[in-house]
Chain A
Amino acid sequence: MKIEKRRKLGRGVAVVGAGMSKFGMFRDRDSKDLFAEAYRELIASVDKGLDPTDIDALYLGNFSNDFFIHQAHWGPLISDLIGLAPKPATRTEGACASSALAFREGVFAIASGFYDMVLVGGVEEMSKRTTEEVAEGLALATVPYEGEAGFTFPGVFGALATAYFHKYGATREHLMNVTIKSHNNAPLNPKAQFPLSIRDMMNAKIKSAEKKGMPLPEWKDEKAFLSDPRANPPVAWPMHLYDCCPISDGASCMLLVGEEIARNFTDDPLYVIGLGQGSGRGLHACDDLTYFEATRYAAKEAYGMSNLKPEDIQFSEVHDCFSMAEIIHLEDLGFFEPGEGYKAVEQGLTRLDGPKPINTSGGLKCKGHPVGATGISQLYEVWTQLRGNAGKRQIPIKDLRIGAAHNLGGTGGTCTFTILERR
């Protein structure tokens, strides 16, 4: 028997508050202090005020503080931090999609009628390890055969890039368009780890060479800079340094309530109208290495639930852990046809002032990627944009109503797509 599936919530769920720490590498800060920063902003963001004793439960995404700082079991640590204990706290793990899973669990808990108000969040503290150790820690989320073959995360996306280049004729130069675009958005985001355009970075390097009395580099434009292996060395060819997101620390959180009580907290709630999640199988089990089956599944679920089409999504955050990934997601989410994503970026269609702004936050590439915090930080950007609070990076589309976030964990093992609406 085939069961016809239609995804719907048993009860509507609204977002009424959100917060995010600054992302970066912080020697003198830890996971608790970063979560406290995000939580303080969340409390201040609830327009009509919040009594924290009304929060019923916490769902917290964390990938692997176990590995990064040798401390596991982050649910109760954070619930104690904010005075929520003895109320329940549950950790969710889906590699780099860990907090998108926390968001979903929070939505389901309210939609079921069990809770009325849930805090969802994510945290990760990565920068106290060396680059090589972080690469090893992240590689725990690959499929075992990938790790044994020496694949790192940049390596996996490098391999996908060679398959994509071969199939569609794209080149490294097309990946540079993604990097340049994200770096143009980042200086407009005060929470970004790298709030600098590529042009800013070039000027800083020239200035530094001048200071040291070294020969001045001559780059005619951003692409010349990105093509210079001294400025942009290979990490896992064709992925170079500026194709890769950084190592980051950070935290993010959101407050979810039942739709019918949302206006007790704000006159401007956002509504959860589309939810999708898929799982994948690893490189060796894919017939075609130019897309993620799990993203396509998640997108289909979310579009089905919301009765929306890709063209209805006015803007989106997508999981650009690597430049190549952003192009693949643009296609998997249906924003552009397969093989057309890299052309769309080249034509500027995904710029802040384009018809389909993508990663207005600067994306993982520039905003930073503390993996367990990333999913909800993407939704934080959607919240900020939809409520018109994005300042200099506010999307110049009139009547901004529908935004989305795509989060990916592992080598496509866990993918989510979440659509929020302002009514």
Chain B
Amino acid sequence: MADYKAIKGFKIKSLASDPTANKGQVWYNTTSDTLKYDVVGAAAWASGASVSVAVETGMSFGTSTSAILVGGMTESPAVAQNTSFSYNGTAWTEEATIDTARRWGGGLGASATAGLIVGGSPPSMALTEVYNGTSWTEVNPINRNVESVAGSGGTVTAGLCAGGEPGPGIQVETWDGTNWTEITDLNAAHNTAAATAFGSPTAFQVAGGAPSYKATSEQWNGTAWTEVGDLNVAVYGNGGAGTTTSMISYGGIKSPAVVVGTTEQWNGTSWTEIADLSQARLYMAVYNGTGTAALAISGRGNPTPNYVNVEAWDNEPDGVKTVTTS
């Protein structure tokens, strides 16, 4: 078998500690007895397994390898769905139906076996349904009828749902596993915006949204909403994932007939464009995933109809990795 020197022309260095600033290098750490390399981060969307029903404005929660897709609206005829599907990173499986068909609600949950959906339409509703991996159960409703939420996120026991129509679009409620409680309003409406899917009642963020095409972003710290850095591209109907220190906003519509695939990354301070969806789209099923691994599920373009295709986000950060065998 050829050795490293025969291939690369030099030997792998043996070092007592990991070096710094050595992107692309390989070395042997004699202290930990491990082969290591310093990877250059790469951020990209790849194709995921397609869904069986093309919907827009579906609801989602979970991670990129343990997600739920719920409801949504088919294109023609335009019918709200009561279906739910789970994704294990490889394939979609049909799960139990929800009690009330809907689209455009919020979704909260850390995995495909523990989450909830809230609100939706038509008509605008307050209903909340919890999923335990087997069945959906209706629980206490949110304190208003709401659709096209600014964002939702968290877990089945601690989450938040912000904004939405009808009304001024600024109302916010937290979920404690049993009840919804109204808290401080957003500074401005951000309907159908990106949001931190893995936010919490004390750390949450929305970005973009309607009315009009917004670039602004607001962050919640458990006490107050504060306007933070703007998106580079003003959109609504964009997807969102992550936390208040590592978030992405992807897709959306930036003018009446211009749908984009733009993906922007929030690092806790500012937004930076870092990649594009291969299929520009808006009104995807959100809110699932983290800033480094998420799903853009279905949605639609304009003029194109709803999509069945799914894209998976992977943003491997810069950093030192250990070579493992399996």
B partners with A: no
A residues apposed to B, CB below 8 Å: none
